[in-house]
A = this chain, B = another copy of it.
Amino acid sequence: MRVRLTLEYDGTRYAGWQRQENALAVQQVVEEALSKLTGESISVTGASRTDAGVHALGQVAHFDTSSRIPPDKYAYALNTLLPPDIRVRSSARAADDFHARFSAVGKRYRYLIHASAHAGALNRLTHAHVIYPLDLAAMRAELPDLVGTRDFKAFAASGSCVKDTVRTVRSAEIFQEGGEFALFVEGNGFLYNMVRIIAGTLISVGAGRLAPGAFRRAMETKDRLDLGVTAPAHGLTLMQVFYEGDRL
Seen from chain A, the residues whose Cβ lies within 8 Å of a Cβ on chain B are: 8-10, 55, 57, 75-76, 79, 84-90, 117-122, 124, 126, 237
Contact = CB atoms under 8 A, between A and B. Distances in A.
A120 B90 CA distance: 12
B10 A118 contact: no
Nearest to A78: B118
B75 A121 contact: no
Contacts of A119: 79, 84, 87
Nearest to A119: B87
Nearest to A86: B121
How many copies the complex holds: the figure is: 2
A148 to B, nearest CB: 30
Q: Is the interface of A mostly helix, strand, loop or mixed?
A: mixed
A34 to B, nearest CB: 16
A223 to B, nearest CB: 35
A84 B121 contact: yes
A115 B121 CA distance: 25
A61 to B, nearest CB: 14
A118 B84 contact: no
Contacts of A55: 122
Given A79-B119, A90-B118, 10 more contacts: A8-B120, A9-B122, A10-B121, A10-B122, A10-B124, A76-B117, A79-B118, A84-B119, A89-B118, A122-B126
B122 A237 contact: yes
A117 B121 CA distance: 28
A65 to B, nearest CB: 20
Nearest to A84: B124
A118 B57 contact: no
A43 to B, nearest CB: 22
B86 A118 contact: no
A90 to B, nearest CB: 8
25 contacts: A8-B120, A8-B121, A8-B122, A9-B122, A10-B121, A10-B122, A10-B124, A55-B122, A57-B122, A75-B117, A75-B118, A76-B117, A76-B118, A79-B119, A84-B119, A84-B124, A86-B121, A87-B118, A87-B119, A87-B121, A88-B118, A89-B118, A90-B118, A122-B126, A122-B237
Contacts of A85: 121, 124
